[in-house]
Amino acid sequence: MDYRTLDGVATDTKWAEKPCFLSADHARMPHMADFGHLKNSKKDVVTYTFWGVVGEPKLLVRHAGESNKPFFNEKLRRAEHLQKRKAKVNVELIRDNRERDRELFPKYIITGWEDVFDAKGVPVTFSKDDCKSFLDALDDDEFDGLREFCGDAVNFRDIADGASAAGNSPTV
């Protein structure tokens, strides 16, 4: 009778003082679980639509999190600075953080857009400066919706069945 386990340690008490190891045959065992389906492929850029804004402008955005190293490093520098200042969390700090994100998003998060028009109805070609102006013109709740969407890594994955998790659908 074989008293060895997959980790190579004997389970019978008479073998307990001397662990034994499995041979190379254990690598050829017939069933090893495959969890490859749990790894979702990630998208670098997805589309975010402002459903509540006239013309329903669409921004091409990157993840606003750890997978976006330049953005994440900027956020960490800011957090470190605030920690050194021993800043208290209050309404002013939240507003300052939102305004800082309005500066960082055109630089690190937003890569382009569609259906963006100026006040005269003329299509606007994407630029970082115009993007900053666009974000400044948004109500705080609209911009916060964009921040939440971009901060959620799930929006940048393909779901296992091939459908996209991204594409912020309007609620009915």
User: Are 22 and 51 in a shared domain?
Assistant: no
User: Are 60 and 138 in a shared domain?
Assistant: yes
User: Are 103 and 59 in a shared domain?
Assistant: yes
User: Are 14 and 77 in a shared domain?
Assistant: no
User: Are 20 and 51 in a shared domain?
Assistant: no
> Is residue 70 one of the residues assigned to a domain?
yes
Domain count, the chain: 2
User: Are 108 and 138 in a shared domain?
Assistant: yes
Report if pTM > 0.95.
no
User: Are 109 and 142 in a shared domain?
Assistant: yes
C-alpha 25/C-alpha 82 separation (Å) is: 57
Domain span holding position 65: 46-156
User: Are 1 and 81 in a shared domain?
Assistant: no
Amino acid at 5: T
Per-residue pLDDT of the chain (172 residues; tens, 9 = 90+): 455 555 555 555 554 555 555 555 555 666 778 887 777 678 899 999 999 888 999 999 999 999 999 999 988 887 776 666 676 767 887 788 899 999 999 999 999 999 999 999 999 999 999 999 999 999 999 999 999 999 999 999 876 444 445 556 554 4
